[in-house]
Each structure stands twice: as C-alpha cells, then as structure tokens.
Amino acid sequence: MTSQRRKGRVMGLMKGKKNDATYSTDFTLLLLTAILVTFGTIMVFSSSVIMAEIRFQTPYIFIIKHVIWVAAGAVAMFAFSRYDYRKLQELTRPLIITAVTLLVLVVIIGSEKGGAKRWFKLGPMSFQPSEFAKLALVIAMADFMDRKKSRLNKMKGLLPALGLAGLFCFLISLEPDLGTPVIMVAVTVAMLFVAGARLGHLLLIGISFVPLVALEILRKPYRLARMKAYLQSVGDISSSSYQLDQSILALGNGGFFGRGLAHSQMKLFYLPEPHTDFIFPIIGEETGFIGTIILIVLFIIFAWRGWMISKNSPDFFGGMLAMGITLLITTQAVFNMGVATGLLPTKGLPLPFVSFGGTALVINMAGVGILLNVSRHMKKHQAKKGNY
C-alpha cells in the first residue's frame, strides 16, 4: 500500500508538472504575434525600399531600423512574459510619475517633426513618450478598478480614473496629438464598462468628451480641413482628401488576389507614409482582398485570445490588465484600418505589429508579454482546479 501511495504521489506530481509545462504559455497568442510581426517586417521592406533608395541612397535604412525595433520588442515581450504581472500593480505610482514627466519634457525639449514635438531623439533612433503613457495608463486603470471596484457604479467613483486619463490626454494634446487621446479615452471608457460602471454614466462621459474633441479640431486648421474632407466624402467619395483618395486607389488596384509582393504602384511617392500610417492600403494593393481579410481575421483572433485571458484571469487586476492591453492594441488596429478605408477621419496612427517599428512596436510587444504572463498564471490556476 505504501509503495502504491508513493507511486501515486509521484505520478500526481509529474502530472502537475506536465500541466504547468503544457499550459505555461498561450501559444496561440504568441504565434499570432509572431505572424503579424513577420508579415509586418516583409511589408515594411516592400513599402519602403524604393523610397529609402531615392531619399537616402540606400534601400535598407528603414528595414534595418525596423529589425532593430523588432529585436528590442522581442526582448521586451520575453522579459514581461517572465515578470509576474501582479508586481506591476505595486509600480503603478512610479509608472504614472514617469509617464507624466516624459510627456511634459517632450513638449519642452523634444525633437520637432512636422510641427509636432512627440519624440526624444536618441541618435539614429527615437522614443515616443505617448506610447509608453498608453501602457502606463492601462496599468493604472487596472489598479484603480481593482482597488475601487465597489465604487464604480457611482459617478463620483469614476472621477479619479477620468482625472488621470484627462491629465494624460491633455499633456499629449499639447504635442499636438489628437488621435492618441481619443484612443486612450475609448480604452478607458471600455475598461470602466467591463469593470462594472453604469452605461448611463459612461454615455454621459462620452457626450461631454465630444465638445473637447471639437475644440481641438477647430484649434488646428489642418484638422478642420481633414474633418471637412471626411464629412464630404461620406456622401461623395470623389471629394475625399488626397491621402484617402490614394489609399482607396491602392486598395482598388489590389483586386481580389493583389498585384504581388513588391509590385505596389502607389508606394512610389503617391501615397504618403506607405510604411507607417498607410501601410494597410499597400498590403491591400500587393496581397489583394484576400490578404486584407486574413490580416483582419488575425486581429479578430488576437482580440478573442485577449478576451479569454482576461475572462479566465485568476484575479480582477489581471483580468482588467489583460482587457486593457487587448483593447489598446485592437482599437488602434480598427482606427488605422478605418482611416485607410475612409470609414474614419484621417489621423496618423500606426497599424500594431505591422507598421514601421519604433516605440509603438516595442510597447505593443511588451503588452503581449504581459498578456502571456497573465495567461501563464491563468493556466496554472485552472490546472490546479482540474480544469485541464
């Protein structure tokens, strides 16, 4: 009997270790990220090679930088996948202070490009504090909702979260940048809804946000021009802006199967920023309707995996953190593709994992690392319950 019991305990321990090893990582999410990043790297090279050759006399300048950012993102993703996400809750205050400090400094001493100060120049590379601020805000919101979840059904209980989001958005609007604050507010409101805030309160918040956006649009003539062009294009696509016009032409040129990789015509200085904000039309032109649908499906699966990780998280903080990161990435994808297809007003936002790298790529991959870490705890938690 003693021998049998010992054998049973050993088998049980081995089974437990096998469960932990088998379910230690959400490999579907990891594979999705790898596919998106790899596809993005191919498309960045295809969309930038001719432009780089003409402007900088070397076809490889953008792809070399992008590969460096991909490597940095891979390191960040691995590091955060091994770092216990629960410790991030203890770092909420330092993250907020760091984000606010960087957002203030970039307006004062940041590198200016196109009339905006959004970057710190670090030799041949650059760092964009607003991308760091987006992830910091999600972590802060998850921490707040975990500590104050019993107060979220009252408007007064929402004010601290709205105040923090408002501070971040105000500082980013000074750069100036309107797209990022819109994304941050949308993600914050969605997180509050999932956490249990009343829909009526959130609708009131959304309505009160509209005049602020309108003022920001009126404050900058180019934003007003973009909005007028967008409104006119709703009824008559021929009156769309130059960027949207070229984007629609690129998507149309691709047809069903595409012109083939590296065979885009619109990237030849017709479509502005073909390797960053408007890479989606180049994908459509080179891979066709099939390629764009596959890309959309990949983001849908990504959203589903993020939702499942959030739903099955062993604690409320982890669930809200996973939800916030998933919303942050997928909302940006929706906005980017919406702009490229004329469904949304023109605004410069990169396509996550696919557009030319930079801070956004590293932060998004770090976010995936956090999702993977939450999934590791979720799997172990469920394995102990016998759910696997």
In the chain, where are the structural domains located? 25-376
Q: Say what the pLDDT of residue 297 is.
A: 97
How many Å apart are CA 236 and CA 261, to the nearest integer?
A: 31
Residue 127, SS3? strand
What pTM, to 2 d.p., does this model score?
A: 0.89
Q: What is the pLDDT of residue 71?
A: 97
Could you read off the pLDDT of 75-132 as tens digits, one per residue? 999 999 999 999 999 999 999 999 999 999 999 999 888 778 898 987 777 899 999 9
Question: What local confidence, expressed as pLDDT, does residue 52 receive?
Answer: 87
Interval 256-276 mean pLDDT: 86
CB 376 within 8 A of CB 21: no
Q: What is the mean pLDDT of the chain?
A: 87
Beta strands in 85-163 (DSSP E): 111-113, 116-122, 125-127
Residues 6+ apart with CB under 8 A from 160: 144, 148
Which pLDDT band, with edges at 50, 70 and 90, does 266 fall under?
confident
Task: Please determine, for residue 346, whether its predicted confidence score (pLDDT) is greater than 90.
Answer: no
Kindly tell me the number of DSSP H helices and DSSP E strands found in the chain: 13, 3
8 pLDDT above the threshold of 50: no
Helix (H, G, I), strand (E, B) or coil at 112: strand
Helix (H, G, I), strand (E, B) or coil at 117: strand
> How many alpha carbons lie under 13 Å from residue 269 in its C-beta half-sphere?
6
